[in-house]
Amino acid sequence: MGLSGNALVVLKKRYLKKDENNDPIETPEELFWRVARAIAEGDGSYEGPEQVEETARKFHRLMTSLDFIPNSPTLMNAGRPLGQLSACFVLPVEDSIDSIFDAIKHAAMIHKSGGGTGFSFSRIRPENDQVLTTQGVASGPVSFMTVFDVATETVKQGGTRRGANMGILRVDHPDIEKFITCKTDNDRMTNFNISVAATDAFMKAVREDAEYDLINPRTGDQSKRLPAQRVFDQIVQSAWKNGEPGLIFLDVMNHFNPTPAVGRIESTNPCGEQPLLPYESCNLGSINLAHMVKDGNLDYEHLKEVVWDGVHFLDNVIEVNQYPLPKIEELTRANRKIGLGVMGFADLLIALGVPYDSEEAVQTAETVMAFIQEESRAASAYLGKARGNFPNYQGSIYDRPDTPYLRNATTTTIAPTGTISIIAGCSSGIEPLFAISYVRKVLDNQELLEVHPFFQEVAKAEGFYSEELMKRIAEKGTIQDLREIPEHVRRTFVVSHDVVPEWHIRIQAAFQKYTDNAVSKTINFPFSATPEDVRNAYLMAYDLGCKGLTIYRDGSRDAQVLNIQRKPHYPQVEPRPRPDTTSGITERINTGCGKLYVTVNWDEHGFCEVFASMGKAGGCAYSQIEATGRLISLALRSGVKIESIIKQLMGIRCPSPMWANGEQIVSCSDAIATVLNHHAQANITSVQSLMGACPDCGAAVEHEGGCIVCRSCGFSRCS
């Protein structure tokens, strides 16, 4: 199959079946046969047994060639008892306690099965609004989002990952300003991506520096008016600070809604590439564009074959999928949405000799995606004629004489490819190369130097290859100022941070032009970028027809590590003396062992000591609490960042967890970390959201399409 060592590591850790000791009990070859045979069974209702077996062989070739890889839940669950194969779900949240907690329950079921969920909280009445049944006041959508977040944290997803959510609020909801800033300090909503749903009316008001209406969703009446510029600037400022909220352009999404008679789109999946109706799901797969080059040109014949086979594969997934809820199965089968996308776009450009940040790259993006769109529709029409149109075809945007057959309401999506691009051995999604050369951590903390194979080939062919140069590139992260490398090579091999935001957005818009659903992509900004740069990016994305935008300013989250730096040397340090005078605060927090009193003190240099005591505790428990406080104090006076201390303590579990003030406290150590987190300075980022280092292996992570991905071990924050 030509799997890389890195791909084998990821398959072993994330996808292969395991026994009770967590040891793999299948090989990669057996995995692909398991998936191929399970998905081929979708032919059973339309073809005989011989055709099912032939289809299994076709799907096996499709995957083992690494030309196409389906989304992670399909690789994990096809041919296994769980059988849940979709990555993307949207659940409704109505303005009632019953609906809210039904959504939480249903999300937990989906997360457990390996999927991610999106919600619009726009129907929930605003904070302090009337609650007629109790004569009280409403908590508002942001408060209820906290409950969703805690529930997600509690459910371990698929045995390997936490669940991921998208939280969306319309820009005309009365609580919009609170929503915009709900993740400013990164100490809440750690299992949510959040996006503001901007309407055309709002964007028009921004352009005209006008006010716009806020609408109470309970009554439908105007609540008040706000200056659009002010709200837009709040979105920009928050996104500049830490990347959230993103923007989705709600009216643009609904303009391309294929089944408007069924309902309006209100939300997307966690990374924003899949707009869905409430209770809809979608299954995705990606074509490896790095394999679609022959003799220095696009191989359209091979690409067409992979597109048709990919559509067949994804349509069969709908047939054999085991859905988590009957309502999801009903609507998914009624619209039969699939999302065929791409990965390896940066590799394709390099193979064609095209710089990522060029007009030729934009044209290549349009050409490739237009071809995929056209052929995927043709393949869907072929299936529609043979198997029947999707049930909601009548009344859809396709219900016209020139398209009498169509099996799927959508056929294309550009998703973040995360771990599947590692398996395929190609660049992620439609992102530029993240690094040309980098250090990968392997077992026993060993490090291997990884060099992009195309660059290594060119470097050797043109005579400038050396191990020393590759190490220098791994340290620098870019080759743009290395004059020993020829200019034409430097121009072609650009990495993400060599590409200015305008080109990122133009590439996204080029793909969006020929994509049914949406395009997931991260728009990278340098640390020096200004809020005005972010503002211009959002406006540009809207003008170019994007359905949304996710931005990330390098270094905007505290403790982010440079993803291409080698390990620095850390000297031994002496803690500074305890100051004679400190200021502080004592907080009482309930734990499963009793009431814990935590004192946090600081001086002019910052936090310097922590004391903790517990009511009537004595003996070993008291000594352990005292030892924890002493070691925290020693670390603080030795210059250790408080967020690093919190990260080590938070989540340590004891046999007696409990709830306190809406937070789950799982041990005395966790309680101390919670207090530290409460009283950390406003500009300190909560460690629950630090995204510089992989939480599984400690290696660097990439920001891709609103997701966090580790290319060393395959960890992905998203579903």
**Is the four-CA dihedral 106, 107, 109, 110 of positive or negative sign?**
positive
pLDDT of res. 394: 96
Question: Is residue 269 annotated as a catalytic residue, yes or no?
Answer: yes
Give Cβ neighbours of residue 48 (< 8 Å, ≥ 6 apart): none
The domain locations on the chain are: 5-84+279-423, 88-268, 435-494, 583-689
**In Å, how far are 123, 152, 506 from 96, measured between CA atoms?**
9, 20, 42
Q: Write down the catalytic residue from 6, 269, 392, 524.
A: 269
pLDDT of res. 158: 46
Angle between helices 359-387 and 345-352 (to 10 degrees): 120
Quick one: 665 exposed, middle or buried, by C-beta within 10 A (0-12, 13-18, 19+)?
buried
**Is this prediction's pTM over 0.85?**
no
Question: Is residue 271 annotated as a catalytic residue, yes or no?
Answer: yes
Q: Residue 542 pLDDT > 80, yes or no? A: yes
Q: Residue 128 pLDDT > 70, yes or no? A: yes
Q: Write down the catalytic residue from 273, 280, 375, 450.
A: 273
Nearest CA among 283, 320, 289, 285 for reference residue 302: 289
pLDDT of res. 30: 97
Cα-based torsion angle of the residue sequence 349, 354, 355, 357 in order, rounded to the nearest 10 degrees = -90
pLDDT of res. 691: 40
pLDDT band for position 692 (50/70/90)? low
Average pLDDT over every residue of 302-329: 98
**Which of 107-116, 117-126, 559-568 has the weakest average pLDDT?**
559-568
Q: Residue 37 pLDDT > 70, yes or no? A: yes
Give Cβ neighbours of residue 250 (< 8 Å, ≥ 6 apart): 170, 197, 198, 199, 265, 266
DSSP code at position 94? -
In this structure, which CATH number among 2.60.40.2140, 3.20.70.20, 3.40.50.720, 3.30.365.10 belongs to the domain 5-84+279-423? Answer: 3.20.70.20
Intrachain domains 5-84+279-423 and 88-268 with the same fold: yes
Calpha distance 484→3 (Å, rounded): 32
Q: Write down the catalytic residue from 271, 697, 707, 713.
A: 271
Q: Residue 277 pLDDT > 80, yes or no? A: yes
Say which residue the tokens 């305890």 belong to: 578
Mean pLDDT of the chain: 89
Q: Residue 35 pLDDT > 90, yes or no? A: yes
pLDDT band for position 559 (50/70/90)? very low
DSSP line for 90-102: EE---SSHHHHHH
Read off the tokens for 137: 């006041």
pLDDT of res. 247: 97
Give Cβ neighbours of residue 527 (< 8 Å, ≥ 6 apart): 553, 554, 555, 556
Asked if 548 contacts 577 with a C-beta cutoff of 8 angstroms, the reply is no
Angle between helices 642-649 and 619-637 (to 10 degrees): 150
Q: Which residue has the higher pLDDT, 185 or 152?
A: 152
Nearest CA among 42, 99, 47, 112 for reference residue 73: 112
Fold that domain 88-268 belongs to in CATH: Anaerobic Ribonucleotide-triphosphate Reductase Large Chain (3.20.70)
Asked if 119 contacts 103 with a C-beta cutoff of 8 angstroms, the reply is yes
Q: What number of other Cβ atoms are within 10 A of residue 494's Cβ?
A: 24
pLDDT digits (tens, 9 = 90+) for 581-632: 788 888 888 888 888 889 999 887 788 899 888 866 556 777 888 889 889 9
What are residue 196's DSSP bridge partners?
169, 247
Average pLDDT over every residue of 138-145: 94
Nearest CA among 13, 27, 2 for reference residue 710: 13
pLDDT of res. 508: 98
Q: Residue 696 pLDDT > 70, yes or no? A: no
Q: What number of other Cβ atoms are within 10 A of residue 16's Cβ?
A: 20
Please name the amino acid found at residue 249: F
Q: Residue 299 pLDDT > 80, yes or no? A: yes
Nearest CA among 322, 344, 347 for reference residue 333: 322
Q: Residue 713 pLDDT > 80, yes or no? A: no
**In Å, how far are 166, 233, 338 from 250, measured between CA atoms?**
14, 19, 21
pLDDT of res. 599: 92
Calpha distance 178→165 (Å, rounded): 19
pLDDT digits (tens, 9 = 90+) for 204-218: 999 999 999 999 999
pLDDT band for position 54 (50/70/90)? very high
